[in-house]
Each structure stands twice: as structure tokens, then as C-alpha cells.
Structure 1
Amino acid sequence: MGQSRQPEPFAHTFSIVARDERTGDMAVGVQSHWFSVGTTVSWAEAGVGAVATQSFVNKSFGIRGLQLLKQGKTAQQALDALLKDDAGREVRQVAIVDAKGNVAVHTGKKCIDYAGHRKGKNYSVQANMMLTSKVPDAMATAFEKNASLPLQERVLKALEAAQGAGGDIRGKQSAVLLVVRGKSTGAPWDDNHLVDLRVDDSPQPLQELARLLRVHLAYEHMNNGDLAIEKNDMKRAMTEYGAAMKLFPDNLEMKYWTAIGLANSRQVAKAADMLRSIYAKDPNWRELTRRLPKVGLLTVSEKDLKELVW
């Protein structure tokens, strides 16, 4: 039950585990000067909790921590059980938040300076091998003062504040943002993960993570637009597609399906104008338009179809 059998990876880093008081959703956010930190530090399961295991990492703490929470243990009880027989506890840094908002965190005495943590209501921030001692406080302050934002954006703000306070003494390389539902629906393919973004190797991992989050949110709007079309709610569909394009204005696919939605709502002239600009950048979209009527995704007359694929 102690140390993992494989050589333990380093993940000297800063991270946050958090729960949204309003929705119950839970998150882990991390940045490190270590390749692909998301495969090592961040663990979460809908309706259960979230774990960050770092410093000299015992990766089993992620899976075992979640198992202990599923058995009914609180975050603190799970953490105590993980550390009890761990010969390497003094080089570990671990934080857990459970589905009820209980938080537990441990920073071993032999974690490399600067190392520390700060625990607050529904969250914990922790860091080791930092350039300055200001990182945990900066993260906590950013998380608390952005309480009006969605959880994923609050977590990103905390990570950005950590970097602003000096960050990892070695620099930066990878980052992760993971969000799961507060309550399981019994459909893990939907529950895990609401947000699951990783930057494995980048000179500016948090900037790239922020960009990916904008793309993620844009595609969420696209999915909502598609669902609205299924329900024949064209007004809602156009609102969602418009929100998607605002977040990701250069994406041809978002423009394309918005145009198809307009065509299906009998706004053929407007759709044709949009498609004309899309075809000019990539003519393959014209061929796709020709194929849509066969599968019922474009429901226009032959005359209107000619206007759309001229």
C-alpha cells in the first residue's frame, strides 16, 4: 500500500483541486515544468472527487484516493489512509476534494522549496519547487475573487496567478484542466469529463490551455445548436451557433454548420452568402453540401440546393 513499484516520476509543480459550490462540479488544474503533467498529477471522477498527487509522485494515490472516496471516506480520511503506510510521505504533495466539498492536503517536509499549500472553502492550492513563497496565496486569492466565473475559468485564473507570482523555478512546459460532474448520472461517457484539456509540451502552456478552453466552449455552443436543430428550435440554434463563432471566429466548420442551419430554416440567401466565403477558402465544403440531402441534414428544394452549391 506504500510506494509504487515503478520509478516515481517528478512533478514539481503548482496545482488546484476545487469544487463549485453552485453546481457541485469538481476540478483539477495543474502547470509544471515537466512533460505531460496531466498523465501524472490530475485525477477525478464524477460524483466522487478530485485528486492532485505531485512532487515525487505516487501515481497510485490518484486511483486509490478516488476508490477510498467511493467507499464513503471523506477527503481527510482518504488522505490519511494513503499516507499511513507510505515510506515516501515526506516527499509527497497531495490534495483531495470530495463531492461534499471536504478538502484535505499534505505537503511533506522534504518537498523542495518553496513548497506549501493553502486550503480554503471547497478548494486547496499547493505548490513545490516554486521560485517564490507567494504562489499559494496568489492562487487562493485569484480563485476566491473570481467566484462569479464558471469553475473551469476560476481554476485557470488561479493557475495564471501562480505563474504571475513566479511559478515553477525551472520554468513551464505542460498544463492540464480537468472538470467532472458533482453528481454521477450513471453515464460516465457524459460525466467524465465535462472539460478534459491537456497541453503536454509548450513554451506557454497556460496560454495554450486558455486557447483550448475557448475552443472547448465554442464547440459546446455548437453541440447545443445541433441539439436545438433536432428539436426544431431554430432560434435557439442560431443563438448557440452565433456564440460559438464569436469565441472561435476563424473556424470554417462552425461557420459552415451555421449556414446549413440557416438554409434549413429557409434563410437560403443568407446561407448562400456564408457558404460562398467558406467555399472560397476550401472548396471541399461545397462537395459536402451536395452530400447532406441524402442523409437528411439539408432539407431544401432542388432549386435552393443549386443556389447553395452553385
Structure 2
Amino acid sequence: MKNTFLFLSLVGFQILFSQVYKNSEPFAHTYSIVAKDSITGDMGVAVQSHWFSVGSVVTYGKAGVGVVATQSFVNPAYGPKGLALMAEGLSPNQALSALLANDEGEMYRQVAFLNNKGEVATHTGSSCIEEAGHRQGKYFSVQANMMLNNTVWDAMANAFETTEGTLSERILEALKAAEAEKGDIRGKQSAAILIVKGEATGNSWEDIIMDLRVEDNDNPIAELERLIKIHKAYDFMNRGDLAMEAGNSKKAETLYLNAQKLFPDNLEMKYWYGINLLNNKEFNKAHTLLKSIFEEDKNWKTLTARLVKSKLLLISDSELQTVMQL
């Protein structure tokens, strides 16, 4: 039954899919990683290249299914079609083999698939520009082509395996390790990271955990790291908003403060922390913070009065007047 399923899948797919190498295909030589967090089940793919907007052609992912990195002379079809095959139940190796068998340009491709079980499949074509190679490990694969040195993929793998932390932090360390080995022979320009949930929620807007791109930058990995930090801060903010809507101002205060610690110069994060101080009746502390914000931008004072009407600020009229006079 299993062999029949695979045969029918491949026959049907062959009718729909034929790949031929074309000179017009994106020239995204690069290094990348696909990986799964064994604890949360989240799956991620990240990439860096000396190519504009590399994330738009290399990284693909779908919650509950897997992630794909397709690079070198990129055939973007490996992304959506690979995910579709894995969603049908094919393993990464079966899915990748099916695509390669119908691709006359397979010798130019470098592709990595990972599914929600953490299984991986990787292909480095024989005509990928040196230095090119890949290394697989438990729940991950790293791959690179057109590198200055052939030490890049081993360095990436070692960094991912030895780093502790969240999936995004471990992936970021793998990218940094590639740069430490001099990375792309041409230099650096863009980077991207995409993380999806291991199990689909049924709501597409909840399935993507992180989707960040650096399209054009002198130091894309450093910029990506900055964006990941900001993303984490705003995740605290979003969770704080939910706590605030639920009427749990103490929890919201803690979450907003965590966000503020990560992004201390952001006025909005300071502001919502101040609003929660008011809701928690910590007036003196709130007044000091809000006064400094109002002095920098008076529009935040205007917004404060409006929050009372929306019942997001629960203070008396007399206390509101005090705040308005700060």
C-alpha cells in the first residue's frame, strides 16, 4: 500500500512538474540551515547571501509540514512543491528525490528539506560552484556553495549543535559561524529567517512564529540579529496586550517591562509599561515615567485620555487630571 501510494504520487506529480535549468533562474549562491527544535517542535530555515532579497527565493515553510531551503541556481518550485509532497506524506528524501528526478538542472541545485518529524534530506549538485557541501545532523541540515573556504558547513553544524537557547538563537549562531569562516566568496548582502510551528493551528496567521528579512545591508547577519531581538521584544508587547485585554494588568506589566528591557529606547514600550503602572495604582512610579515620555512627544498625553474611554486605562477622573498636568 505504501509503495502504491508513493508510485501514484510520483506519477501524478511527474505530469504536473518538469524542471529544466534556465539561465534566467536566480543566482542565489549562499549558505543556509533548516532545523527543528526538539522541545517545541518549531521548524526554521535561515539563509545569507551576496544577493538582493535572498529570503524571497530561498526560504519556504509550512506549519505542521516542514521547511525548505533551495539555493545555488535557484529553482523556487522546490519550495512549494516540496512542501506539497511532504504534506502528502512523503519523507524529505522521497520528496526531494522526486523533484531531482524531473529536473534537468539538478547538478546546479543545492536543496535541503526538513519535515515535522525532524527528518532531513539534502542535495548538493555536482556542478555547484566550489566550495560547496553540506552536513546533516539530528533535526538539522546546513548547506553552502560558492564559499571562500570548505570549512563553512562544518562550522555551522558545530555551532548549531553546541549552542543552547531558542531555535532562532541557535540558527543565528550557525549563520555567525559561517561568517567567521569568511562565508560567501563574494561577500554579504541579505539574510532571512522563517520559523513555523511544528503543528498547524488551523489559523495561518498563528502558524508563523517569525518571518524576518534583511534585503540589502552591509552586515546582514548583525542586522538580522537586531531584528530578532526586536521581534522578541514585540512578542512580549503582544502578549502584554492580550493580558491587558483580559484584565490581568499585573501580568501585562511584567510582559511590557520585559519588552522594555530588550528595547529600552522605544517610547511606545515605555508608555504601555507606564499605563499599566497606573492601572496597578503605582502612581508615583507611573508619573515619573510618563512625564519623561510626554516631554519627548506630547501625542502620548493625548492618547492617554482616549484610553479611559476605551477602558484600557482604569483610573479616576481626578487621577486622570493629574496625569494630564504632567
> Given the two structures, how large is their TM-score scaled by the length of structure 1?
0.97
Q: Would the aligned equivalents of 1:31 and 1:175 in 2 still touch at CA under 8 Å?
A: yes
2:77 to 49, 56, 60: 60
Partners of 2:206 and 2:23 in 1: CA distance = 32
Structure 2 match to 1:264: 279
* Cα drift, residue 269 of structure 1: 2.4
Amino acid at match of 1:159: L
Comparing 263-272 and 99-108, the one that deviates more: 263-272
* Cα drift, residue 278 of structure 1: 0.6
**Is 1:46 matched with 2:63?**
yes
Partners of 2:324 and 2:101 in 1: CA distance = 68
Q: Would the aligned equivalents of 2:244 and 2:312 in 1 still touch at CA under 8 Å?
A: no
1:76 to 80, 86, 93: 93
Partners of 1:308 and 1:109 in 2: CA distance = 69
Partners of 2:324 and 2:69 in 1: CA distance = 52
* Cα drift, residue 6 of structure 1: 8.9
* Cα drift, residue 266 of structure 1: 1.7
* Cα drift, residue 292 of structure 1: 1.4
Q: Would the aligned equivalents of 2:230 and 2:262 in 1 still touch at CA under 8 Å?
A: yes
Give 1:1-310 correspondences, 5 Å limit.
Answer: 1-3=18-20, 7-146=24-163, 148-191=164-207, 193-310=208-325
* Cα drift, residue 279 of structure 1: 1.0
Partners of 1:4 and 1:58 in 2: CA distance = 8
Comparing 125-134 and 238-247, the one that deviates more: 238-247
2:240 aligned counterpart, secondary structure: helix
Amino acid at match of 1:279: F
Amino acid at match of 1:302: D
In structure 2, do the counterparts of structure 1 residues 295 and 232 end up closer, same or farther at CA, with 3 Å as the change threshold?
A: closer
Comparing 40-49 and 262-271, the one that deviates more: 262-271
1:40 aligned counterpart, secondary structure: helix
Partners of 1:101 and 1:29 in 2: CA distance = 16
Amino acid at match of 2:321: K
Partners of 2:279 and 2:262 in 1: CA distance = 23
In structure 2, do the counterparts of structure 1 residues 67 and 170 end up closer, same or farther at CA, with 3 Å as the change threshold?
A: same
Q: Would the aligned equivalents of 1:143 and 1:155 in 2 still touch at CA under 8 Å?
A: yes
Q: Would the aligned equivalents of 2:120 and 2:139 in 1 still touch at CA under 8 Å?
A: yes
CA RMSD of aligned residues (A): 1.2
Query: Alpha-carbon deviations, 1:132-156, whole Å to 9, x = none?
Result: 011000000000001x310011000
Amino acid at match of 1:99: N
In structure 2, do the counterparts of structure 1 residues 47 and 18 end up closer, same or farther at CA, with 3 Å as the change threshold?
A: same
Partners of 1:242 and 1:292 in 2: CA distance = 19
1:105 aligned counterpart, secondary structure: strand
* Cα drift, residue 272 of structure 1: 1.5
Amino acid at match of 1:81: A
* Cα drift, residue 309 of structure 1: 1.7
User: What is the percentage of aligned positions where both structures have the same residue?
Assistant: 54
2:45 aligned counterpart, secondary structure: strand
Comparing 4-13 and 76-85, the one that deviates more: 4-13
Q: Would the aligned equivalents of 2:72 and 2:108 in 1 still touch at CA under 8 Å?
A: yes
Q: Would the aligned equivalents of 1:16 and 1:126 in 2 still touch at CA under 8 Å?
A: yes
Q: Would the aligned equivalents of 1:255 and 1:274 in 2 still touch at CA under 8 Å?
A: yes
Q: Which runs of no fewer than 5 residues in structure 1 stay unpaired? A: none
* Cα drift, residue 223 of structure 1: 1.4
Query: Alpha-carbon deviations, 1:38-75, whole Å to 9, x = none?
Result: 10000000000000000000001100000001110011
> Given the two structures, how large is their TM-score scaled by the length of structure 2?
0.92
Partners of 1:3 and 1:70 in 2: CA distance = 24
Q: What is the aligned length?
A: 308
Query: Alpha-carbon deviations, 1:200-253, whole Å to 9, x = none?
Result: 000010000000000000011111222222333333222211111110000000
Partners of 2:171 and 2:194 in 1: CA distance = 10
Partners of 2:319 and 2:20 in 1: CA distance = 67
1:129 aligned counterpart, secondary structure: coil
2:142 aligned counterpart, secondary structure: strand
Q: Would the aligned equivalents of 1:225 and 1:241 in 2 still touch at CA under 8 Å?
A: yes
Structure 1 match to 2:9: none
Q: Which runs of no fewer than 5 residues in structure 2 stay unpaired? A: 1-17
Partners of 1:3 and 1:103 in 2: CA distance = 24
